[in-house]
Amino acid sequence: MTETPNPVAFTAERLAKVKEVIARYPEGRQKSALLPVLHIAQEQWGWVSSEVMDYVAEILSIEPVEVYEVASFYTMYHLDPVGKHVIEYCRTGPCCLMGGEEIYDYLKQKLGIQAGQTTADGLFTIKEVECLAACGWGPVFQIREQFYMNLTRQRVDEIIEELSK
Amino acid sequence: MEEVKPQLIKITFDGIEVEVEPGTTIMQAARKIAEADESQGHLVPPAMCYYKPLPTSGGKCRACLVRVAAGSAKDPRPMPKLVPSCITQVQEGMIVENTTNPAVLDTRKSIVEFLLINHPLDCPVCDQAGECHLQDFSFEHGSVKTRYEEDRRTFDKIDIGPFVQLHMTRCILCYRCVYTADQITDKRVHGVMNRGDASEISTYIEKAIDNDFSGNVIDVCPVGALTDKTYRFKSRVWFSKPEDAHCDCDKCSGKVTLWYRGDEVIRVTARKNMWGEVNEFICNKCRFERKKTSDWVIEGPTKVKRSSVISANKYSKNLIAKPEFSLKLAATQFKPIGDEREYTTDIETVRHQSIENNDKANHRSLLTDNRN
Amino acid sequence: MATKILTEHINVPGIETFEVYRKQGGYTAVEKAIKTMSSEEVVEEAKKSGIRGRGGAGFPMGMKWGFLAKPEGVPRYLVCNADESEPGTFKDHHLMKSIPHLLIEGMIVSSYALGANKSFIYVRGELMYVIRILEKAIEEAKANGFLGKNILGSGYDLELVVQSGGGAYICGEETALLESLEGKRGNPRNKPPFPAVKGLYQSPTVVNNVESIANMPWVINHGGDAYAAIGIGRSTGTKLISASGHIQKPGVYEIELGLSVDEFLNSDEYCGGIRKGHYLKALVAGGSSVPILPAHLITKTAAGEDRLMSYESLSDGGFATGTMMGSGGFIVFDETACIVRNTWNFSRFYHHESCGQCSPCREGTGWMEKVLHRIEHGHGSLHDIDLLVDVAKKIEGNTICPLGDAAAWPIASAIRHFREEFEWHINSPKEATQPGAVFMGAVLA
């Protein structure tokens, strides 16, 4: 890394993790680390801005456009700022069979926002996602790494209350 | 060591036998037939994404799907699905059906439909019109009506650099420009963002495509998605006259086609072969900055296919030889026309009738024009 | 009691730790394979077992291993496909989070069989917590000498890497997965060349599903013949079925292939029947991509024979009256489910997940979703049904990868079996667009 102070930089701990990830792949195949490194970046900044992507490109010695292409292809990377908690709900068939649509409408009504929006206090963002491989336990939310399953209105109330603290 | 020539492979394409080198694709074998006999040009599968000068291109648009009726002499089973002819290699004894197979033609029709449902069909104001592969493709294989009723995908036009405009709404996502940037230029700054039908060619953040060979993306684009800003709305291609020319360039071969309107060079492009593919990529200096006749050594009129709109009314009749085949065909197929209708041979009457018809259609008097 | 190959110990407390897993007989397959068998012998056992790929295509795993090219001096790779994203399927998720060492053990013996020294487990990024579980299990296995350099003193080295995806169903397609693993967009590759010849980093590669690989320790311990003795005909062994929808007991069940659909659906050992007070309307037997079946074709085939949970029986009748085993995503619909709405929902999924590389899928999936959306919301016309059938037909078989087929089949089959329901939406838009409105005609008829 250069000596120039850079506003975009991984914490020492995360940078060590990034280096460890890069070392997993054969020589010259460091681009393979792109998806995991973007996850680490999102963990640190909450979303991936173009500056962050440029920084990731530099670390992996690839062109910035290679990062943009990839980050915009996969749905997990937030390319715009998001709230503190991103609630991703599964909108696919099996979850809907289990009353998902009603639960998600309730969530949207409760937070007063639509999917893709963030609450005014910046606390919650709702995103619609496709199947989360938890069909037998639907309806399902994913918030960061945590799965919330078999949702009911009451459970939604509890989750929001817990996260609002 | 004596050089051993590889044994040629014989395949049958639409009933025509052709011998090609091992490793040749079905598409190239078909082109070989047409290159030997221009009258067989219609047999060659259309290519919207495949572009021979760009290795790894192809396989995406599915316009060139053909049926392999027999995989090889060794294993003569048919292939279960239609295969992309541009990337499928021939095998000894392979039998391929293209224009002879209704399922292939039917599929091709649907590919036109798929490519057009999100295309703006703004040919009247598109610089590419007249040399657009999608226009040719839909003219040759498409339907008259669309079954698509929904909204079309639209994007804003953006300038990528001082010379190139990206009109994403017209793009058919062939990826050729991406391969060009990867393979011809030293650095790629544009690519395909997002996915599915939201995919778009973009630089993501506002960035100029700025390097010596970036202009080639214009030549490889099969549609009017990437156009030359220095040529924007200057002329319809069929009103301009192409001349081959060269110059001593330190960056590229300097072999180009100059497009004239009157005495003015309105556009410079790379020279293209009969499949619309660039022979040699040219640099931005030749393309965008050398726009005076004095910059160039003129070699003579570019050879243009007679069927192309570009050739219309440009050359004296003998410059481009008429294919011998069609003359022969005309001679053998000639039949006296048995027309029992009344008709007049009086030139003046015919002329007046013609003028009247024209008047009705055009609301203007040719008689007045003719008097001047 | 039916044989349990994968889930026998799944409920043992602490089974996610090396210690407990080892106590239950874990890692004996690694010892047996590496110490007493050649890699060819391991491949031979896989062939004998007759196990078919559990990811959806059902291709014999041993045969796939046999295709692996082995040029001198070129590394070979094993990649485990844990990008489970097919709607209705959650078996790999369940298996990996509950008993991670089973997959690790399977990866070791399978890598040994293929001569791979670096193998990857590509897990969908949403399952980050499962990735952490797997990474912990790998650490434990390494600490105990089952991974890393010179495993069990045999001279065989193996490194396992868990890779996270980024959210894309298409990466479950093996060549898209390899692209993604190389840090690129998940665009499937044109085949040939197949991964067995040119896969990851242009090297020979085998891509296998989690469940397929997890069967290998048992196959090594008991022999391929013993595995082949379980099941029915060419459907050997057991299969994890992810059961969801309107049933009493949704969840993941391990069944011996050949169990009757009726028993799986209605016995208390498995789904426990349709939820109380309701009755069966339709079934998607193998994940959202496979053709949907109407009630009368679920427990019996068109010929009136018992329908079994096997590759052959489920596909009996072809696409006219049958379906597919697929990935084992068993989605049950009772009479409250609207087939049109569900079909639109699935079509939205494929529209959203199309990579956009080839034109029939990129444009066709979006088109079909829009037409279905129109019908579902009361703006359809009768010719839209024919249009859907035709567009589906034009996509099917004409795309680079099977996602095109997967998008076309559910729509074509829903129209085939539930046409009246589509017509009702079109002819009676007012009634059909009432919240919760469901067509009852076909069920009563």
Instruction: Tell me which residues of chain C, numbers 321 to 360, contact chain A at a CB-CB cutoff of 8 Å.
Output: 329, 331, 333, 337, 341-342, 345-346, 348-349, 352-353, 355
Q: Is the same domain home to C224 and C256?
A: no
Q: Which residues of C touch A69 (CB under 8 A)?
A: 184-185
pLDDT tens digit sequence for B283-299: 999 999 999 999 999 99
Final residue before a domain boundary, out of A47, A73, A99: A73
Of the residues B204, B207, B217, the best mutation for testing chain A's interface (the one with the most A CB atoms within 10 Å of its CB) is B204
Q: Is the same domain home to C117 and C135?
A: yes
Q: Is the same domain home to C136 and C263?
A: no
Final residue before a domain boundary, out of C195, C214, C229: C229
Q: Is the same domain home to C41 and C174?
A: yes
pLDDT tens digit sequence for C344-372: 999 999 999 999 999 999 999 999 999 99
Its ipTM equals: 0.94
Model's pTM, two decimal places?
0.91
Residue A130 lies in a domain: yes
pLDDT band at B308 (very low <50, low <70, confident <90, very high): confident
The whole-angstrom distance between C226's CA and the closest CA on chain A is 31
Q: Is the same domain home to C175 and C280?
A: no
Structural domain including A99 reads 85-164
User: What is the residue-averaged pLDDT of chain A?
Assistant: 94
Residue C2 lies in a domain: no
CA A50 to mean position of chain CA atoms: 16
pLDDT band at C1 (very low <50, low <70, confident <90, very high): low
* Cα separation, A61 vs C56, whole angstroms: 37
Q: Is the same domain home to C368 and C319?
A: no
The total number of structural domains in chain C stands at: 3
| DSSP secondary structure string for all residues of C218-247 | HHHHH-HHHHHHSEETTEESEEEEEEEESB
Q: Report the pLDDT value the prediction gives residue B341, as an integer from 0 to 100.
A: 60
pLDDT of A105 over the 80 cut: yes
Binding region of A for [2Fe-2S] cluster: 90, 95, 131, 135
Residue C444 lies in a domain: no
Q: Is the same domain home to A145 and A96?
A: yes
Looking up residue C148, the CATH number of its domain turns out to be 3.40.50.11540
Q: Is the same domain home to A160 and A93?
A: yes
Residue A1 lies in a domain: no
* For residues C103-111, average pLDDT: 98
Residue C1 lies in a domain: no
Q: Is the same domain home to A147 and A93?
A: yes
Least confident interval from A37-46, B27-36, B305-314, B363-372 = B363-372
Q: Is the same domain home to C210 and C327?
A: no
Looking up residue A148, the CATH number of its domain turns out to be 3.40.30.10
Residue C445 lies in a domain: no
Q: Is the same domain home to A94 and A146?
A: yes
Cis peptide before B46 (omega within 30 of 0): no
Q: Which residues of C touch A132 (CB under 8 A)?
A: 126
The total number of structural domains in chain A stands at: 2
Helix/strand/coil (H/E/C) assignment for every residue in chain B = CCCCCCCCEEEEECCEEEEECCCCEHHHHHHHHHHHCHHHHHHCCCCCCCCCCCCCCCCCCCCCEEEEEECCCCCCCCCCCCEECCCCECCCCCEEECCCCHHHHHHHHHHHHHHHHCCCCCHHHCCCCCCCHHHHHHHHHCCCCCCCCCCCCCCCCEEECCCEEECHHHCCCCCHHHHHHHHCCCCCCCEEECCHHHCEEECCCCCCCCCCCCCHHHHHCCCCCEEEHHHCCCCCHHHCEEEEEECCCCCCCCEEEEEEECCEEEEEEECECCCCCECCCCCHHHHHHCCCHHHCEEEEECCCCCCCHHHCCCCCCCCCCCCHHHHHHHHHHCCCCCCCCCCCCCHHHHHHHHHHHHHHHHCCCHHHHHHC
Q: Report the pLDDT value the prediction gives residue B303, as an integer from 0 to 100.
A: 84
Contact A93 C251 (CB under 8 A): no
* For residues A21-30, average pLDDT: 96
Residue A31 lies in a domain: yes
Q: What is the DSSP letter of C251?
A: E
Residue C393: CB atoms within 10 Å: 15
* Cα separation, C445 vs C432, whole angstroms: 18
Pairing of strands B83-84, B65-70: antiparallel
Instruction: Tell me which residues of chain B, numbers 240 to 299, contact chain A at a CB-CB cutoff of 8 Å.
Output: none
The whole-angstrom distance between B121's CA and the closest CA on chain A is 28
Q: Is the same domain home to C44 and C155?
A: yes
The whole-angstrom distance between B185's CA and the closest CA on chain A is 13
Q: Is the same domain home to C198 and C274?
A: no
pLDDT band at B338 (very low <50, low <70, confident <90, very high): low
CA C143 to mean position of chain CA atoms: 32
Q: Is the same domain home to A139 and A112?
A: yes
Residue A41 lies in a domain: yes
Q: Is the same domain home to A93 and A66?
A: no
pLDDT band at B312 (very low <50, low <70, confident <90, very high): low
Q: Is the same domain home to C34 and C166?
A: yes
The whole-angstrom distance between C349's CA and the closest CA on chain A is 7
pLDDT tens digit sequence for B200-230: 999 888 777 778 899 999 999 999 999 999 9
* Cα separation, B293 vs B300, whole angstroms: 12
Q: Is the same domain home to C324 and C343?
A: no
Q: Is the same domain home to C365 and C320?
A: no
Q: Report the pLDDT value the prediction gives residue C437, as an integer from 0 to 100.
A: 87
* For residues C271-285, average pLDDT: 96
Q: Report the pLDDT value the prediction gives residue B367, as an integer from 0 to 100.
A: 40
Q: Is the same domain home to A101 and A62?
A: no
* For residues A32-42, average pLDDT: 97
Residue C440 touches partner A, C-beta closer than 8 Å: no
Residue C250 lies in a domain: yes
Q: Report the pLDDT value the prediction gives residue B39, as an integer from 0 to 100.
A: 87
Residue A98 touches partner C, C-beta closer than 8 Å: yes
Binding region of A: 90, 95, 131, 135
Q: Which residues of C touch A98 (CB under 8 A)?
A: 244-245
Q: Which residues of A touch C118 (CB under 8 A)?
A: 26
Closest to C359 (Cβ–Cβ): which among B87, B115, B148? B115
* For residues C192-218, average pLDDT: 97
Q: Report the pLDDT value the prediction gives residue C234, as an integer from 0 to 100.
A: 94
The whole-angstrom distance between A79's CA and the closest CA on chain B is 11
Residue B187 touches partner A, C-beta closer than 8 Å: yes
Looking up residue A20, the CATH number of its domain turns out to be 1.10.10.1590
Final residue before a domain boundary, out of A50, A73, A96: A73
pLDDT of A5 over the 80 cut: no
Q: Which residues of B touch A66 (CB under 8 A)?
A: 188, 191
Q: Is the same domain home to A45 and A105?
A: no
Least confident interval from A36-40, B47-51, B152-156, C136-140 = B152-156
Structural domain including C415 reads 339-433
Contact C125 A137 (CB under 8 A): no
pLDDT tens digit sequence for C79-90: 999 999 999 999
Residue A79 lies in a domain: no
Closest to C355 (Cβ–Cβ): which among B62, B110, B196? B196
Residue C5 lies in a domain: no
pLDDT tens digit sequence for C166-200: 999 999 999 999 999 999 999 999 999 999 999 99
Residue C174 lies in a domain: yes
pLDDT band at B352 (very low <50, low <70, confident <90, very high): confident
pLDDT of C66 over the 60 cut: yes
Q: Report the pLDDT value the prediction gives residue B364, as an integer from 0 to 100.
A: 41
Contact A26 C288 (CB under 8 A): no
Least confident interval from B145-149, B270-274, B336-340 = B336-340
Write down how long chain B is: 372
Residue A147 lies in a domain: yes
Final residue before a domain boundary, out of C229, C262, C289: C229
Looking up residue C396, the CATH number of its domain turns out to be 1.20.1440.230
Of the residues A51, A63, A65, the best mutation for testing chain B's interface (the one with the most B CB atoms within 10 Å of its CB) is A65
Final residue before a domain boundary, out of C206, C229, C252: C229
User: What is the residue-averaged pLDDT of chain C?
Assistant: 95
Looking up residue C294, the CATH number of its domain turns out to be 3.10.20.600
All partners of chain A with 3 or more CB pairs under 8 angstroms: B, C
- Considering only the C-alpha atoms of chain C, give the largest distance between any 2 of them, rounded to a whole number of Å: 73
Residue A107 lies in a domain: yes
Least confident interval from B334-348, C358-372, C397-411 = B334-348
